[in-house]
Amino acid sequence: MSAVTLHAITVLGHDRPGIIAGTTGRIADLGLNLEDSTMTLLRGHFAMTLVCAGDAGAEEIERALAPLAADGTLTVTVREVPDEQAPAPVGTPWVLTVHGGDRPGIVSAVIGEIAGVGGNVTDLTTRLTGDLYLLIAELELPAEVDADALEGTLRAVAEQLGVGVTLRPAESDEL
């Protein structure tokens, strides 16, 4: 397969029906192929990131998507990104869950411990609902990491923060 140009596009702002249809329709009209994408609502704000492949340049894509942002409630960014080869699996997959009373610094303190052992976050969601703060992360931990010891460290950190933490293997069943 020949090398193709990839662009990362972000769309952020006030949610309303039709944003995805409008964005992807304009992308399709440019002949771009939508590859990976993710979208969610963050405290009610529409937040989408997508990576598309094709020959159109960043300026052309920006021009095509400009009408989406015309009313000032959405911000669209476009930038070319290199083709990243998915790294070979080096470790084991885990799911980290943290929840408790909200306070500043929960994510940085907990995820700092993961980074400290060379762990990589591959997916992350945090939510604040009322006073409850929730963090769910998919991790890849290097094979040499002692998960029990790491969980012990995380528990100690969590205790200082007044939150609970669990670390469990993200095993999938082959069927």
Partner 1 sequence: MSTHSLVAAWTEADLDVVGRVRDVVRAPDRVLATDGARVDPTAPEVVQLAADLVATMRVSPGCVGLAAPQVGESAKVFCVDVSQHPKARDHHGTFVLCNAEVVEASRNERAREGCMSVPDLTGDVKRPSRITVRGQLPGSGEEVTIEAGAFEARALQHEIDHCDGLLFLDRVAGAHAIYARKTYL
Report the C-alpha gap between 32 and 8 in whole angstroms.
Answer: 12
CB-neighbour burial class of residue 109 (10 A; exposed 0-12, middle 13-18, buried 19+) = middle
The least CB distance from residue 173 to partner 1, in Å, is: 6
Please give the structure tokens belonging to residue 77. 């960014």
Told to check if 40 binds partner 1 by CB under 8 A, we report yes
Told to check if 24 binds partner 1 by CB under 8 A, we report no
Q: Please identify, among the stretches 52-60, 61-69, 103-111, 118-126, the one whose residues bind partner 1 according to the rule CB under 8 A.
A: 118-126
In the list 49, 77, 92, 126, the residue contacting partner 1 (rule: CB under 8 A) is 92
DSSP secondary structure string, 84-112? Answer: PPPPPP-EEEEEEEEEEE--TTHHHHHHH
Report the C-alpha gap between 61 and 43 in whole angstroms.
Answer: 28
Place of tokens 């020959």: 55
The least CB distance from residue 88 to partner 1, in Å, is: 9
Report the C-alpha gap between 115 and 59 in whole angstroms.
Answer: 36
The least CB distance from residue 1 to partner 1, in Å, is: 16
Residues 43-82 binding partner 1 (CB under 8 A) are none
Report how far apart, in Å, the C-alpha atoms of 139 and of each of 28, 36, 114, 148, 174 are: 34, 19, 8, 15, 20
The least CB distance from residue 123 to partner 1, in Å, is: 7
In the list 10, 33, 97, 122, the residue contacting partner 1 (rule: CB under 8 A) is 122
Q: Please identify, among the stretches 9-17, 64-72, 110-118, 167-175, the one whose residues bind partner 1 according to the rule CB under 8 A.
A: 167-175
Q: What is the H or E stretch that residue 156 is in? A: helix 147-161
Task: Choose between 97 and 125: whose C-beta lies nearer to partner 1.
Answer: 125
Contacts with partner 1 by CB under 8 A lie at 38-40, 86, 89, 91-93, 122-123, 125, 138, 140, 170-175
